[in-house]
Chain A
């Protein structure tokens, strides 16, 4: 990892290479949203906004004031809809998720465990924002990519068993941190990539979950867009 780049940017740059041209994708709020900034040339996604449309476009130059009809994203922030986009009600929007119509979703994470369980929606006694659409996304998208820093202030986040309330059981397909990329194969956690300068021993020391080291283990390559 380069000195200047934040862990979040590094993770977003790696995930940008996971998505294929033409994929229908939901990017969660926060770190996952950054992924759209680093898509390589020639990769165009149809981004879903869970509040009811496909084709998230850029923030418009002129923002319509609050109280007048306007397009907002799932976080309530003004945005636009690209040509070719479509709008629908919440039932259709979540049918797209649960029904397996999304090629991938990218979600933030608080904890992931070796059973592919994800916890990302609440910290009892501290933060109870609600699960919003996270549970529907995690249960339904064809690929569930978790974007998460490897540890939090020294606390391990990749565990044998999540101890925070779960978002979904057994649904994580890929986990990307600033140190490693893991995939779940047949229910087993497999280390497939390490970040430049990070050893397998270091990853093991910062990971509580048991994992297999892939026989195709390689150094992580990230999107170079704008570098």
Chain B
């Protein structure tokens, strides 16, 4: 079996300016710190980042997560649900230095799941009648152009159409992996990680512990190893 092990200094070979990256984590919990650092160290810029939130700008409150890339101005656009605890993200958005597309977290999760599951998008009641409808779109449905998110009334109830999301790269954090890439997450660190494992061309997981194939009960695998291309793990 081909080894999935990736040395951290080889991560740069998967990166280029202007690319789209998904990052796991919820308030930085479950965001892979070494992979985010490696993205920074590579020098890439103009990134589009897709993830739950922008974590903490105050390092005493919690992990900085993707905030490291925000602070160093590597990001052109973010699709995310919450920037409230990252003052620098708010500042860059208001100053027009970084584009932020705010999307309800449940819709982000399902857009990623749709993108990774071969689905044409999501119909959700969330955001109907709110400014979420007004996020600019470049969309054609049955030959008709839409510049905002269409609302479909289905059997009497309104649903907002949300496009699927995919990325060139997903960076994940898991607590344990076997050498086949099967992943186990720890409690609240799971969040978007398993969904993103489906939705990117290349998937790299940073893990705390590596075990031999067969050591993880198949019933306990949370992300099947076939979805994980590379593992970054301690020596």
- Let me know if B175 and A69 touch, CB within 8 A: yes
With an 8 A cutoff between CB atoms, is A7 at the interface?
no
Which of A70, A75, A81, A130 has a CB less than 8 Å from the CB of B80?
A130
- Let me know if B94 and A53 touch, CB within 8 A: no
Q: How far is the CA of A51 from the CA of B30 in the complex (A)?
A: 10
Q: Which residues of B103-151 have CB atoms within 8 Å of chain A's CB atoms?
A: 104-110, 113, 124-132
Query: In the complex, what residue of chain B is closest to A131 when comparing beta carbons?
Result: B104
Given A129-B84, A130-B102, the answer on whether A69 and B27 have CB atoms closer than 8 Å is: no
Q: Mind listing 26 A-B residue pairs with CB under 8 Å?
A: A51-B26, A51-B52, A53-B187, A53-B188, A70-B29, A71-B187, A72-B27, A75-B85, A76-B29, A87-B185, A87-B187, A88-B190, A89-B109, A89-B190, A90-B26, A90-B52, A91-B113, A93-B109, A95-B106, A97-B106, A128-B83, A129-B82, A139-B128, A140-B125, A168-B126, A168-B129
The smallest beta-carbon distance between B183 and chain A, in angstroms, is: 12
The segment out of B39-47, B53-61, B212-220, B226-234 that lies at the interface is B53-61
With an 8 A cutoff between CB atoms, is B195 at the interface?
yes
- Let me know if A52 and B191 touch, CB within 8 A: yes
With an 8 A cutoff between CB atoms, is B186 at the interface?
yes
With an 8 A cutoff between CB atoms, is B193 at the interface?
yes
With an 8 A cutoff between CB atoms, is B202 at the interface?
no
* Chain A residues whose C-beta falls within 8 Å of the C-beta of B131 in the assembled complex: 165-166
* Chain A residues whose C-beta falls within 8 Å of the C-beta of B108 in the assembled complex: 90
Q: Which residues of A98-139 have CB atoms within 8 Å of chain B's CB atoms?
A: 98, 117, 128-136, 139
* Chain A residues whose C-beta falls within 8 Å of the C-beta of B186 in the assembled complex: 69-71
Q: How far is the CA of A167 from the CA of B26 in the complex (A)?
A: 21
Given A74-B27, A91-B109, the answer on whether A67 and B33 have CB atoms closer than 8 Å is: yes
- Let me know if A98 and B126 touch, CB within 8 A: yes
- Let me know if A132 and B62 touch, CB within 8 A: no
- Let me know if A130 and B53 touch, CB within 8 A: yes
Query: In the complex, what residue of chain A is closest to B223 when comparing beta carbons?
Result: A89
Query: In the complex, what residue of chain A is closest to B52 when comparing beta carbons?
Result: A90
* Chain B residues whose C-beta falls within 8 Å of the C-beta of A134 in the assembled complex: 104
The smallest beta-carbon distance between A135 and chain B, in angstroms, is: 4
- Let me know if B191 and A133 touch, CB within 8 A: no
Query: In the complex, what residue of chain A is closest to B209 when comparing beta carbons?
Result: A69
Query: In the complex, what residue of chain A is closest to B208 when comparing beta carbons?
Result: A69
Q: How far is the CA of A130 from the CA of B127 in the complex (A)?
A: 12
- Let me know if B192 and A90 touch, CB within 8 A: yes
Most chain-B Cβ atoms within 10 A of its Cβ — which of A50, A70, A117, A130?
A: A130
Q: How far is the CA of A75 from the CA of B188 in the complex (A)?
A: 11
* Chain B residues whose C-beta falls within 8 Å of the C-beta of A93 in the assembled complex: 109, 191
Q: How far is the CA of A157 from the CA of B187 in the complex (A)?
A: 38
With an 8 A cutoff between CB atoms, is B8 at the interface?
no
Given A97-B106, A128-B94, A129-B83, the answer on whether A89 and B192 have CB atoms closer than 8 Å is: yes
Which of B26, B107, B130 has a CB less than 8 Å from the CB of A166?
B130
Query: In the complex, what residue of chain B is closest to A75 when comparing beta carbons?
Result: B27
* Chain A residues whose C-beta falls within 8 Å of the C-beta of B224 in the assembled complex: none
Which of B93, B105, B126 has a CB less than 8 Å from the CB of A139?
B126
Query: In the complex, what residue of chain A is closest to B60 when comparing beta carbons?
Result: A66
Q: How far is the CA of A72 from the CA of B190 in the complex (A)?
A: 11
Q: Mark interface residues in B49-75 (1 if CB within 8 Å of A CB, else 0).
A: 000110110010111000000000000
The smallest beta-carbon distance between A98 and chain B, in angstroms, is: 6
Q: How far is the CA of A52 from the CA of B193 in the complex (A)?
A: 11
Q: How far is the CA of A139 from the CA of B123 in the complex (A)?
A: 13
The smallest beta-carbon distance between B175 and chain A, in angstroms, is: 5
Q: How far is the CA of A87 from the CA of B191 in the complex (A)?
A: 9
- Let me know if A132 and B81 touch, CB within 8 A: yes
Q: How far is the CA of A136 from the CA of B82 in the complex (A)?
A: 13
Q: How far is the CA of A69 from the CA of B186 in the complex (A)?
A: 7
Q: How far is the CA of A134 from the CA of B83 in the complex (A)?
A: 14
- Let me know if B82 and A132 touch, CB within 8 A: yes
- Let me know if A130 and B84 touch, CB within 8 A: yes
With an 8 A cutoff between CB atoms, is B164 at the interface?
no
* Chain B residues whose C-beta falls within 8 Å of the C-beta of A98 in the assembled complex: 106, 124-126
* Chain B residues whose C-beta falls within 8 Å of the C-beta of A76 in the assembled complex: 26-29, 55-56, 61-62, 85
Given A76-B55, A91-B113, the answer on whether A131 and B195 have CB atoms closer than 8 Å is: no
